[in-house]
Chain A
Amino acid sequence: MKKLICALLAVAMLFSLAACGTSSGDDSADALKVGFIFLHDEQSTYDKNFMDAAKAACEAMNVEYAQKTQIPESKDCYDAAVELIEVDGCDIIFADSFGHESFLIDAAKKYPDVEFCHATGTQAHTAGLDNFHNAFASIYEGRYLAGVAAGMKLNEMIQAGDITEDEAKMGYVGAFTFAEVMSGYTSFYLGAKSVCPSVTMDVKFTGSWYDEQKEKEAAQALISGGCVLISQHADSMGAPTACETAGVPNVSYNGSTVAACPNTFIVSSRIDWTPYFKYMIECVQNDKAIDTDWTGTIETGSVVLTDVNEKAAAEGTAEKIEEVKAKLLDGSINVFDVKNFTVTVTDELNASAVVDADGHLTSYKADVDTDEAFAKDTEVVEDGVFYESKHRSAPYFDVEIDGITLLDRNYG
């Protein structure tokens, strides 16, 4: 009896195999298809942000797409690209993680007729390939606006007599001590400083993009160190939940955390990738070249803020954000205007910076072109402004400005 069942099952199996052989997975040659490569899956807020945008953009543009999740930063990325092209017939390949870049470039060399787009990367402008492109967004503008909301909350606390002006200290939980994070916390701090001049900030790094426990502990350490408001640049719920437990206001990232933190969530900034995905699809549809470095802005709809949580935010926050946003849009405010911050230069700290007598930057060389020595190669201060995301889309602001104290450093 058992043998009979085995035999029957085996035959059924063979039939299902035969079914595969006859039907081919060919797509029609004309239809445009986009292939997405994601580092994790939707359980990571970082990847979910990309996955949601991919779905929204492809549905809006009425194009097909295929995705590969859980692709590590190794040759598996190259293999995934090859599969998306050869098996799924994709015409555009997009990858979402920094470490994917070199492997994606290898694939771009092998398939010159396919367009390759990569978020957060730095090598497109030096790779010399027509079909490889980088993209990022001026998220520092979003963080600046979130910082304004934080500063207003501090002002409210000062006026209420909860804290003195000198006690207006914020805490920031960052992932790694490099430009992407440094640019983010500095713009957040400058936003707060623009409305609350006495503000200072402590920063702690976790050394991981996603480590709920470490982020929680870092937030708790900052709170017990006297920080009265917390923000973060890491992808778990660690810091927001620590704030909710301690009753400390929190400015979030990657999307609203109001559901889990109804009493402490003020506002959150995030990058919306839908505009970029639409742009790259449009370019390919119309046979136009995709920008080597594309930087999304508030104007393109790439840098967005969530609704302000009235329960936690200071009165008038939403209106103030709109007001500052308008000024950012018309160019009357620059986030990294050198007049807004001072810099201390020593042999170890900010060595490639030049400042005037008041401590304002007059010149700064940033590491824009990727090389093995991490050479500071490009002058980025012009006309009194540190121009972020101008020479390439990925951030390169890594100045350590006065008023922000790095409690530790973590490079991974």
Chain B
Amino acid sequence: MNNTEKKVHEPVFHVVKRDDMPLWKAWLIRMATIVVSFFIVGFLSIAVTGQSFAGTYETMFSGVFGRLFEGHTTMLWKYLQEIVILLSLALALTPAFKMKFWNCGAEGQALMGGLASIICMIELGDKLPYGALLAVIAITSILAGAIWGVIPAIFKALFNTNETLFTLMMNYIATQIIAYYVYIKGGGSNVINPVSAGNFPSVAGNDYFVNIAIVTVITVVMYIYLKYSKQGYEISVVGESQNTARYVGINVKKVIIRTMIISGALCGITGMLLVAGKDHSININSVGGQGFTAILMSWLGQFNPFIMVVMTAIVVFLRIGVAKVVDTALLNSSFSEIMVGVVILMLVGCEFFIHYSIKFKHKKEAGV
């Protein structure tokens, strides 16, 4: 009898979900992961560049903060600007993700918002007073992003189409529309020169202040919306189980469409921040793939806007810092992408170990 029991195949280990990890311990693991991943990045950089340990981190810091300690704040503002763009895309995706609607179309929704901005700046720049122009830019960008976001939502709500594919395809359409617009306005040279009308004002000599302020407000509002509003609660319920939502009398279709309008509108705002608040021009690379990085940021932030601030700050720090290491040591720029990938992978991996534990076979035997 004993023999036959032993012959039953048992996996070497199996994964068990755990809910018992205390919050402080989970956060300690996360912090440790971040620290360790920074060390890995450091060591890999040293291995490739041959620089000293301190020298490598010094290069990274100088890339991000410049000569901050000597009173030069330019680079710090640039760092904050990069954070808020990625953050605002992550925030835009969060309500949709919380609803388990996989919006992979932040890139296209932001591009459409940016397109609305640049059209207003070019066509209405000399026709409207400054304040009215900014208002029109804001309204049209929000509308453009919302429309681009709501089209897949309508199809999802009415025909249950796959929103991942749908939103991805919408990105390609948006990119082609931008390419066509750049062709019309840029003529043979394929470049739209920066437009001087409808630019966000610079505050105390700082071009990015308005962008940063807007995203700060959105972060706080989004936190309150998701955590304390009725709509935020409805989003959670629909995300947990559509049947439960239906049972308690939530109009699921309405929630899906409404949430995607919000998600698209926020992406549209990001497009506006990029065009009116930064480039004053547009091209197909204006969002630069950040719409996809934002998906990860939203997840790593566990749909909590304030954690997202921390996560985006870390990822942008690495992106800029390692790029500086790359440029200083004349390395290939793929190196910085690899490093950011390593850190994101580690962060994702640590979430896995926080939420699941691995039980090995021998342990179980020991228990028996």
Chain A residues proximal to chain B, CB less than 8 Å? 2-3, 5-6, 9-10, 12-13, 16-17, 19-21, 23-26, 40-43, 66-70, 72-75, 79, 82-83, 86-87, 98-99, 101-103, 106, 122, 176-179, 370, 374, 398, 411-412
* A13→B35 contact, CB < 8 A: yes
* A69→B327 contact, CB < 8 A: yes
Q: A16-B53, A42-B332 are in contact. Are A23 and B286 (CB under 8 A)?
A: no
* A70→B278 contact, CB < 8 A: no
**Distance from A380 Cβ to chain B, minimum over Cβ atoms (Å):** 16
User: B330 to chain A: which residues have CB within 8 Å?
Assistant: 67
User: B61 to chain A: which residues have CB within 8 Å?
Assistant: 17, 20
Query: Which 4 residue pairs are nearest across A and B when measured between Cβ atoms?
Result: A178-B188, A19-B54, A412-B190, A99-B191
A23: nearest chain-B partner, CB-CB: B58
* B188→A24 contact, CB < 8 A: no
* A412→B182 contact, CB < 8 A: yes
Pairs across A and B, CB under 8 Å, 16 listed: A6-B28, A6-B31, A13-B35, A17-B61, A19-B57, A21-B69, A40-B333, A42-B332, A66-B327, A69-B327, A73-B191, A74-B281, A79-B78, A86-B72, A87-B72, A99-B191
User: A177 to chain B: which residues have CB within 8 Å?
Assistant: 188
User: B38 to chain A: which residues have CB within 8 Å?
Assistant: 13
Q: A102-B193, A103-B194, A176-B190 are in contact. Are A87 and B62 (CB under 8 A)?
A: yes
The distance in angstroms between the C-alpha atoms of A145 and B38, with both chains bound, is 54
Chain B residues proximal to chain A, CB less than 8 Å? 28, 31-32, 35-36, 38-39, 42, 53-54, 57-58, 61-62, 66-67, 69-70, 72, 74-75, 78, 179, 182-183, 186-191, 193-194, 207, 278-281, 283, 285-286, 288, 323, 326-328, 330, 332-333
The distance in angstroms between the C-alpha atoms of A101 and B286, with both chains bound, is 16
* A2→B32 contact, CB < 8 A: yes
The distance in angstroms between the C-alpha atoms of A17 and B279, with both chains bound, is 33
Q: A24-B70, A86-B67 are in contact. Are A411 and B183 (CB under 8 A)?
A: yes
User: A13 to chain B: which residues have CB within 8 Å?
Assistant: 35, 38-39
> Which residue of the partner chain, among A3, A21, A68, A86, contacts B28 with CB atoms under 8 Å?
A3
**Distance from A123 Cβ to chain B, minimum over Cβ atoms (Å):** 8
* B66→A86 contact, CB < 8 A: yes
User: B288 to chain A: which residues have CB within 8 Å?
Assistant: 72
* B285→A72 contact, CB < 8 A: yes
The distance in angstroms between the C-alpha atoms of A176 and B188, with both chains bound, is 8
* A20→B35 contact, CB < 8 A: no
The distance in angstroms between the C-alpha atoms of A23 and B207, with both chains bound, is 29
User: B53 to chain A: which residues have CB within 8 Å?
Assistant: 16
Contacts A20-B57, A25-B67 given; 7 further ones with Cβ under 8 A? Answer: A16-B42, A24-B69, A66-B328, A74-B283, A74-B285, A83-B74, A178-B189
